[in-house]
Protein backbone atom coordinates (compact mmCIF):
# COMPACT_ATOMS: atom_id res chain seq x y z
CA UNK A 1 0.00 0.00 0.00
CA UNK A 2 1.05 3.56 -0.54
CA UNK A 3 -0.03 6.11 2.04
CA UNK A 4 -1.86 9.15 0.66
CA UNK A 5 -2.18 10.92 4.00
CA UNK A 6 -2.07 10.49 7.76
CA UNK A 7 -4.12 12.22 10.46
CA UNK A 8 -6.52 13.97 8.06
CA UNK A 9 -8.55 16.20 10.40
CA UNK A 10 -11.82 18.03 9.91
CA UNK A 11 -14.53 19.14 12.37
CA UNK A 12 -16.42 15.87 11.76
CA UNK A 13 -13.43 13.78 12.84
CA UNK A 14 -10.11 12.34 11.76
CA UNK A 15 -8.88 9.65 9.40
CA UNK A 16 -5.75 8.02 10.80
CA UNK A 17 -4.46 6.66 7.47
CA UNK A 18 -5.71 6.87 3.89
CA UNK A 19 -3.84 4.57 1.52
CA UNK A 20 -4.04 3.07 -1.95
CA UNK A 21 -3.61 -0.69 -2.13
CA UNK A 22 -1.75 -2.22 -5.07
CA UNK A 23 -5.05 -3.40 -6.60
CA UNK A 24 -6.41 0.18 -6.76
CA UNK A 25 -8.49 -0.03 -3.57
CA UNK A 26 -8.68 3.11 -1.45
CA UNK A 27 -8.17 2.04 2.18
CA UNK A 28 -9.36 4.06 5.15
CA UNK A 29 -7.49 2.70 8.16
CA UNK A 30 -8.43 3.30 11.79
CA UNK A 31 -5.51 2.80 14.21
CA UNK A 32 -6.14 1.94 17.86
CA UNK A 33 -3.62 1.23 20.61
CA UNK A 34 -3.57 0.20 24.24
CA UNK A 35 -0.85 -0.20 26.84
CA UNK A 36 -1.22 -3.61 28.43
CA UNK A 37 -4.15 -5.95 28.27
CA UNK A 38 -6.14 -4.74 31.29
CA UNK A 39 -8.04 -2.18 29.20
CA UNK A 40 -9.08 -4.79 26.65
CA UNK A 41 -8.14 -5.37 23.07
CA UNK A 42 -7.76 -2.21 20.97
CA UNK A 43 -10.01 -3.76 18.31
CA UNK A 44 -12.89 -3.54 20.79
CA UNK A 45 -12.58 0.25 20.71
CA UNK A 46 -13.86 0.41 17.14
CA UNK A 47 -17.54 0.44 18.03
CA UNK A 48 -20.45 0.76 15.62
CA UNK A 49 -20.56 4.46 16.49
CA UNK A 50 -16.84 4.87 15.68
CA UNK A 51 -17.32 2.99 12.42
CA UNK A 52 -20.13 5.37 11.43
CA UNK A 53 -17.89 8.35 12.19
CA UNK A 54 -15.02 6.96 10.10
CA UNK A 55 -17.42 6.34 7.20
CA UNK A 56 -18.80 9.88 7.47
CA UNK A 57 -15.32 11.42 7.53
CA UNK A 58 -14.21 9.20 4.63
CA UNK A 59 -17.07 10.61 2.57
CA UNK A 60 -15.89 14.13 3.47
CA UNK A 61 -12.35 13.19 2.45
CA UNK A 62 -13.50 11.95 -0.96
CA UNK A 63 -15.51 15.13 -1.51
CA UNK A 64 -12.35 17.20 -0.93
CA UNK A 65 -9.69 14.82 -2.23
CA UNK A 66 -11.04 12.81 -5.17
CA UNK A 67 -9.41 9.38 -5.47
CA UNK A 68 -9.27 7.27 -8.62
CA UNK A 69 -10.02 3.97 -6.90
CA UNK A 70 -11.53 0.72 -8.09
CA UNK A 71 -12.98 -0.05 -4.64
CA UNK A 72 -13.03 1.18 -1.04
CA UNK A 73 -12.18 -0.66 2.16
CA UNK A 74 -12.16 0.05 5.89
CA UNK A 75 -9.30 -1.57 7.81
CA UNK A 76 -8.35 -1.46 11.48
CA UNK A 77 -4.82 -1.71 12.86
CA UNK A 78 -4.58 -2.58 16.55
CA UNK A 79 -1.39 -2.17 18.57
CA UNK A 80 -0.91 -3.42 22.13
CA UNK A 81 2.17 -2.07 23.91
CA UNK A 82 3.64 -3.86 26.93
CA UNK A 83 5.42 -2.15 29.81
CA UNK A 84 7.58 -5.22 30.50
CA UNK A 85 9.64 -4.74 27.34
CA UNK A 86 7.90 -7.30 25.15
CA UNK A 87 7.51 -6.43 21.49
CA UNK A 88 4.21 -4.71 20.72
CA UNK A 89 1.45 -6.96 19.37
CA UNK A 90 0.07 -5.81 16.01
CA UNK A 91 -3.10 -6.88 14.23
CA UNK A 92 -4.22 -5.63 10.82
CA UNK A 93 -7.84 -6.46 10.05
CA UNK A 94 -8.55 -5.95 6.35
CA UNK A 95 -12.17 -5.09 5.65
CA UNK A 96 -12.91 -4.77 9.38
CA UNK A 97 -16.27 -3.15 8.62
CA UNK A 98 -18.30 -2.39 5.55
CA UNK A 99 -20.82 0.05 4.18
CA UNK A 100 -22.62 0.71 0.93
CA UNK A 101 -19.97 3.22 -0.07
CA UNK A 102 -19.98 5.37 -3.18
pLDDT given for residue 43 in this prediction: 86
| pTM listed for this prediction | 0.89
- Strand order, beta sheet including 71-81: 2-10, 13-20, 25-35, 71-81, 89-97
CA–CA dist 21, 88 (Å, integer): 24
pLDDT by 10s per residue, the chain, length 102: 999 999 999 999 999 999 999 999 999 999 999 988 777 788 888 899 999 999 999 999 999 998 989 899 999 999 999 988 899 999 999 999 987 665
Residue 17: beta bridge partners?
6, 29
pLDDT given for residue 45 in this prediction: 83
- Domains annotated for the chain, with CATH where assigned, are 2-97 (3.40.1350.10)
Amino acid sequence: MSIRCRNWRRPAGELDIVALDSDGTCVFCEVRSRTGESSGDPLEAVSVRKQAQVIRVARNYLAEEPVAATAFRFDVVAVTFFEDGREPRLAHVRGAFETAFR
